[in-house]
Chains A and B, each alone.
Chain A
Amino acid sequence: MSAIPDANAPSREESVFNAALALPPAQRAAFLDRTCAADGALRARVDALLRSYGESEGFMETNTAAGPHGTIVAAGSEGPGDVIGRYKIREKLGEGGCGMVYVAEQTEPVRRRVALKVIKLGMDTRSVIARFDAERQALAMMDHPNIAKVLDAGTTDKGRPYFVMELVRGIKITEYCDQHNLDTEERIRLFVQVCHAVQHAHQKGIIHRDIKPSNILVTLHDGVPVPKVIDFGIAKATEGRLTDQTIYTQLFEFIGTPAYISPEQAEMSGLDIDTRSDIYSLGVLLYELLTGKTPFDSQELLDSGLDGMRRTIREREPVAPSTRLSSMGATDLTETAHRHRAEPPRLVHFIQGDLDWIVMKALEKDRTRRFETASAMAMDLQRFLTNEPVEARPPNNWYRLQKMARRNKAVFAAAAGIVAALALGFGVSLHLYVKEKAAEKEQARLRQLAEAGLEFERTQRQHAEIGMQLWRAGVLMSQDQFDQAEALVKEVPPIPQRAALDNVLGMVRARYGKFPAAISNYIKSTQAQPTNDTGVHCLLPLLAHEGKTNEFDEWRLKALDQFQSTGDADVAERLGLDCLILPANEAEMGRIEKMLETVKSPNQPLAELARGLVEYRHGQFAAAAARLEKVVDHQPNGNAEQQARLILAMAQTKAGATVHLDPPNPTLTGPDWNEKMTTQLLANEARTVLGR
């Protein structure tokens, strides 16, 4: 072998150099330690060559985008030892689409190591720096543990723009997750931190515009992985006015991976990019963390040409992450699952549903349908992790119940109809409430974007918390743990959603004979939701029963204020009766009559019962008696029949007749306890009138 030298046979130096070059930079030193062992000269030589190789990026390349005047030195014109501004270059850190990144040392005003990024070719340095200066103040206001601060910008001697950033020694988030076989939950926790960082920047008015794995580096702090978002403000500064011809190379050069470009960025109008563009890119990142693939393949996008690429990004719906996984080949899927430390079917099942929805909501083509903020996305992921219902899914009661069941498996096994009934009622009202609030907030957002983002986040969180509290109360109630449920409900502010629970609590208290407690429950339900007629319908008999005549008067007036023009037969007729359990003054009587007149199609004979009582209270005894005689025939053995008989007896007695009636004394049990209470009150009155 050594006898005849082969012209093509590489020297040992060349072989070692090429072998080292083929390895990831981090593994090269160890490889060289082993390979060069005692040969110090060889080691020094290969080290020098590797360094030279790193520095000479673009050297002797004549067919680059640099155009007709190809350059012998493209990006390699700065090197270790060179001084740029206040910074002395130490070593190369990496290279990206838009330039070289070096570790540099700053001596003034503080001594520290920084990352220095020199922008590559063909950029108008002055406008880059001008654009950067425009954002400099906002950038300086960013202060977040997951954001690498941008410290400075300037121009090199050779006229290229450079940026100085906090030094982050880490690896791409996607690589970190795969190298450490993070499971899906761990990946999500890491991603949530990224969302919080992006949210922080958005609140300061900074849009990243180039969120992609290589801009999110993971470093270890005491063994804990910490993601850092780098390059904030740089995409904006380096984005030029692009023409169609240059876009393609610009995209390739500067963005590198079109897979992360939002539909509105693909439009290239360059005018109308807002924070929701970053939300899209976050969606792509989450997609890649979950499936190992981006929604659209970068190479395919580039291959399809500029128009094809735009069309795909703007129009084609990507498949959901779980679908993407299941449609992979068995080998790919097993490999992906292995990286998540999961079995393939479990991984698909885990991602299916909530995670699919969250990712797809972030990837909506229409940005108004995406998450409003990065933290809304983070919160939804947090909800997923704690098995709470996610917002990304349109409200659906069955889904919410499923979620709750998963969270409270034991408790839920016993949960009965109450919860389901409640769910149907206030699931819808909660949804409407949230929608209404969202609309309000939308306006606020337009007025003050940054502030409103914060506010929206706050109310969103509040809604979610309230919803959960009410749900827990519902579960407790289904377990007959009413005291605990009440303690939970008490903390909820008087919003319409809690009225249903207050009503249930009031009903429970009343049926256990705890009338004062029931009264306070119904007062709360009525305050929380004034349109809640059930609350008033229970409250008025209770107040009368407890002898609280002042409160009765007060709530009767409130009820009339609220329902006087209701038009709803059930509400008007029942309430008409309730309001007259105790005598009323002329003005109130007039309002009750008006309320009854608003009813277009009265329930017979309930309407007649109410009118009969009105006439009786007016002192029109003969008219009342005539009306109620007919009612009695129609209402065998019901509460209404008993009430009609009692009022009839009183009217006849007042009209001068002698009536023989033994007023009933119903026990206040059963679902119609409040009707029975009314009967009991009328019976007591009748005993007095009849002289018994």
Chain B
Amino acid sequence: MQATERLDLTFAALADPTRRAILARLATGEASVQELSEPFEMSQPAISKHLKVLERAGLISVDIDAQRRPRRLEVKRLEEAVVWIERYREIFEQNYQRLDALLEELQAKPAKRKKKKD
């Protein structure tokens, strides 16, 4: 699977709040489908659908050897996606912090502003 394809699936997987909550739970330790369904007012089949999306994106893995078939968080894959959006956001934030300073400067000089209006 190409890197961009994988990233696609990752972003789509993270776009859902239930799936993010599942990932948060798995961050504290592996869990079976039954254990994952408990906190949600959702049937096991509904949770399984979400798990399939997360598995396809490579964000969680299944231990098929254990009878419970616990799901595990694939931390590195998750970090990649979060990192990319976060770095992108930081560039905008750095720009906008400079803009904050510029706007403050522009508002602090009423004489200069009058000149600009004329």
**Real binding pair:** no
Chain B residues within 8 Å of A, Cβ to Cβ: none
Contacts from A to B (Cβ < 8 Å)? none
